[in-house]
Amino acid sequence: MAEFLFVFQFVLAVVITISVLLQKSSSIGLGAYSGSNESIFGAKGPGGFLAKFTFVAGIIFILNTLALLYLYNKQESKSLIDSVPLTPVETPSAPALPIVPADLNNTK
């Protein structure tokens, strides 16, 4: 589910970027390359439609971001400590020191 929402997030980002660039601005943006939008969207052009579409896509983007936040937080709430078995593990004792006879240490 999270993978689908992650891919959907990228698609939404691209759609929002394109819809913002198609909107009319002081420099017209990419709207100059879109052809005859006036005939499709009416005499006023695509301004109202694109503004509403961008707003709705932005709301969906925010909701998708919150859903991703919830899902990833739910998945990543497990710690490495949770995977450690709870049974006590015996620690090995230190190796015994070799016994050296007293005669070898006494050199004259």
Tokens of 100: 């050296």
Mean pLDDT of 20-32: 67
What mean pLDDT is predicted for residues 85-93?
Answer: 73
Distance CA 28, CA 73 (A): 41
Our CA angle for 36, 15, 7, nearest 5°, is: 150
The residue with greater pLDDT, 48 or 44, is: 48
Question: Taking 90 as the threshold, does the pLDDT of residue 60 lie above it?
Answer: yes
- 54 is written with which tokens? 């961008």
What's the whole-number mean pLDDT along residues 57-82?
85
